[in-house]
Structure 1
Amino acid sequence: MPDLVVGVDGGNSKTDLVLADTEGRLLSWVRGAGTRPHTEGMETTTERLARLGRFALAEAGLPQTAPVSAGAYFLANVDQRAQERLALRQLTELGVAGRTVVRNDTLAVLRAGAPGGWGVAVVSGAGINAAAVHPGGRSARFLSLGDITGDWGGGLAVARAGLGAAVRAGDGRGRTTRLRRDLPVHFGLGSVEAVALAVGAGEIPVTALHGLAPLVFAAAEDGDAVARDIVERLGDEIVAMVTALLRRLRLLRTPTPVVLGGGTLQNDHLLLRDHIAARLATEAPLARPRVLDVPPVAGAAAEALVTAAAPADARRRLREAIGARKPPDAVAD
């Protein structure tokens, strides 16, 4: 009988977990809450991941005690080596798999989109991060602690910038923008000022602002200059990350794959993609950007199969199966 493997892509807002076997068959795909050990603690995070794994086994019609040969956990907000070691120790104690690998979620994008396993990966979902691996094995990453380490980007940053620009347009500090009309509709409120006040009072969680990002992108695509500036700022930040990593690993003179993943990059935001491509063509002409064509969890699943010593054909079959299936909508507890 083939062994079982688990691949996990834990993002800021959601976690995807796939259960497969070493022949490359996709047995189940479940979705849970995001991985936020920086606010919820690593113990809570790893226990939730273990429950999600048991849920995946049940979804596949298997006993929740069925042994899993290998698990690859690529987790957002696990940005430092010490955090990786802590998550690995706790997941091992929870018995999630016979062999367990823990990495930052950015590397799932790289594993899924770069055939050789090296290059640069950018994840722009609710937040933003990037990492790079040299062909010789060296790697580079960022601290990624938010504002205090100079980070800006992702859907939540775009949404907050859009809301702020809309308020400024109303009080005389900023330019006219359709965002004043578009954004409050998402929350059923009459003005962007009402949205801001509701956030300040705790009536609307800050994380819920992420839902405004598609409205900012839509306004930018339709020619709104204020929204366009916000989207282009995101593109500039992504290019800055990519070029910094290429420079640190001395890859600027080497044709290098650059994999773009996450919701704000894998959706059809052509303005953002074109801006990134144009800037990279000038600043890093040997960079080879591509948008990831499968969910990032495919990279985690591939790593789990490698850890279990599964054949390359199994990795190909599982990648195709993940790419062909619609991700789950429901979020398991």
Structure 2
Amino acid sequence: MTARLYAAVDGGNSKTDVVLGDFDGRILARVTGPTTSPHVLGLPGAVTQLVTLIAQARAAAALPPDIELSQLSVYIAGADLPIEVERLNTAVTSLALATTSTVDNDLFALLRAGTSTPDAVGVVCGAGINAVGRRRDGTTSRFPALGQLSGDWGGGHLLAALTLYHACRAEDGRGPATTLTEAVRNHFALPTVEAVSIALHLGDLPQSRLDELCELLFEVAAAGDAVAGRVVRRLTDEIEALVRVSASRLDLLAAPYTVVLGGGVLTARHPQLHEGLLSRIAALSPRATVTVLSTPPVAGAALLALDTLHDGACPPKVEAAVRAAL
């Protein structure tokens, strides 16, 4: 027995959201679980986790075993290279969890969550940084997203590390003076930045606490510190470059298109970064519209599934129902 139902997956590096819904936009279940990234779990582990979460969603929706899903749409961190997308597609399709399956990078879910505009570029700056773009004819733009191996710069992990880096160098005289030094000491209630570094190295401070310094960087930059300000401007440069290259590849620079900004660093709207980006993008593409993501990316995964079920375009009424529900 076949029903016009779908499962949509947004699999990030830290958690996975799964939604089960119907053709008319009703959300029947939503579950959250651990990451399904193959970079973290390996391909077999990612597939096993995916099967578990979809089973949980079916149970939460009280879906009988004889009801088959029409569409499974999986958007997952770690599906960066074409070969990675191909391998995931093959693995997911072989599970026969739905009549048809789609697998791609999680940024496409973020992009669809941010806009229904067919011409769009999305930039995520959370723990890491990446960008994708799409054009109404189906052409896409993407980056390898392999960190320094592929020339990437930015993301919360790097910003936090740079905060400690500059604080250390200012304290021992290798670098210019910066109030990051005092801010880092005070944040961890330790007498020196060197003591902070040693505590992180020895495990007296959990490595996870290093990420707290990302927010500290923006606070110090907002107070006028020159060193912190240079790091924020460097991030602005990088995000502008991601938009410029993505839009250029799609021949959108002079056209009306939407830029979606997502990830914790960008959705925080830190004034120096946010206002700088608005100014840069306006100069780069005067006809572009910038939006900051306010809808969970799993909504984008659901809308992409519904686009497929509705022959390429989810009706506005159905889209509105999904956005309201999620």
TM-score by length of 2: 0.87
Alpha-carbon distance in structure 2 between the residues aligned to 1:202 and 1:40: 24
Structure 1 counterpart SS, 2:17: strand
**Structure 2: any 5+ residue segments left out of the alignment?**
none
Aligned to 2:166: 165
Aligned to 1:86: 87
The structural deviation recorded for 1:318 is 0.6
Aligned to 1:278: 279
- 1:158-307 equivalences under 5 Å are 158-183=159-184, 191-201=192-202, 209-307=210-308
Aligned to 1:24: 25
Structure 2 counterpart SS, 1:218: helix
Alpha-carbon distance in structure 1 between the residues aligned to 2:304 and 2:252: 24
> Residue 314 in 1 paired to residue 318 in 2?
yes
Seen in structure 2, the aligned counterparts of structure 1 residues 208 and 249 have a Cα distance that, compared at 3 Å, is same
Seen in structure 2, the aligned counterparts of structure 1 residues 270 and 99 have a Cα distance that, compared at 3 Å, is farther
The structural deviation recorded for 1:83 is 0.9
Alpha-carbon distance in structure 1 between the residues aligned to 2:97 and 2:203: 37
AA partner of residue 237 (structure 2): D
Aligned to 2:50: 49
Alpha-carbon distance in structure 1 between the residues aligned to 2:292 and 2:18: 21
1:190-244 CA deviation, whole Å, 9 max, x = no partner? Answer: 5433343344446666565333322222333333333232222212111001111
Structure 2 counterpart SS, 1:253: coil
Seen in structure 2, the aligned counterparts of structure 1 residues 287 and 29 have a Cα distance that, compared at 3 Å, is same
Seen in structure 2, the aligned counterparts of structure 1 residues 65 and 178 have a Cα distance that, compared at 3 Å, is farther
Alpha-carbon distance in structure 1 between the residues aligned to 2:89 and 2:204: 37
Q: Whose radius of gyration is greater, 1 or 2?
A: 2
1:221-275 CA deviation, whole Å, 9 max, x = no partner? Answer: 3333332322222121110011111222222221221111122112232321111
Aligned to 2:132: 131
Aligned to 1:327: none
Seen in structure 2, the aligned counterparts of structure 1 residues 319 and 184 have a Cα distance that, compared at 3 Å, is farther
AA partner of residue 10 (structure 2): D
Aligned to 1:38: 39
- 1:81-120 equivalences under 5 Å are 81-120=82-121
Seen in structure 2, the aligned counterparts of structure 1 residues 54 and 185 have a Cα distance that, compared at 3 Å, is farther
User: Contact 1:109/1:299 (CA < 8 Å) preserved in 2?
Assistant: yes
AA partner of residue 225 (structure 1): A
Alpha-carbon distance in structure 1 between the residues aligned to 2:143 and 2:274: 22
Q: Percent identity?
A: 42
Coordinate RMSD, CA, aligned? 2.7
Alpha-carbon distance in structure 2 between the residues aligned to 1:134 and 1:30: 31
Alpha-carbon distance in structure 2 between the residues aligned to 1:219 and 1:84: 40
**Structure 1: any 5+ residue segments left out of the alignment?**
323-333
The structural deviation recorded for 1:152 is 0.9
> Residue 143 in 1 paired to residue 147 in 2?
no
Give the aligned length.
Answer: 322
The structural deviation recorded for 1:321 is 1.6
Structure 1 counterpart SS, 2:291: strand
User: Contact 2:13/2:40 (CA < 8 Å) preserved in 1?
Assistant: no
Structure 1 counterpart SS, 2:276: helix
The structural deviation recorded for 1:168 is 1.4
The structural deviation recorded for 1:138 is 1.7
Alpha-carbon distance in structure 2 between the residues aligned to 1:203 and 1:90: 42
AA partner of residue 319 (structure 1): R
Seen in structure 2, the aligned counterparts of structure 1 residues 268 and 282 have a Cα distance that, compared at 3 Å, is closer
Alpha-carbon distance in structure 2 between the residues aligned to 1:16 and 1:301: 11
Seen in structure 2, the aligned counterparts of structure 1 residues 319 and 180 have a Cα distance that, compared at 3 Å, is same
AA partner of residue 316 (structure 1): A
User: Contact 1:99/1:307 (CA < 8 Å) preserved in 2?
Assistant: no
User: Contact 1:140/1:245 (CA < 8 Å) preserved in 2?
Assistant: yes
User: Contact 1:2/1:23 (CA < 8 Å) preserved in 2?
Assistant: no
AA partner of residue 317 (structure 1): A
Structure 1 counterpart SS, 2:98: coil
- 1:61-76 equivalences under 5 Å are 61-62=62-63, 67-76=68-77
TM-score by length of 1: 0.85
Alpha-carbon distance in structure 2 between the residues aligned to 1:31 and 1:251: 36
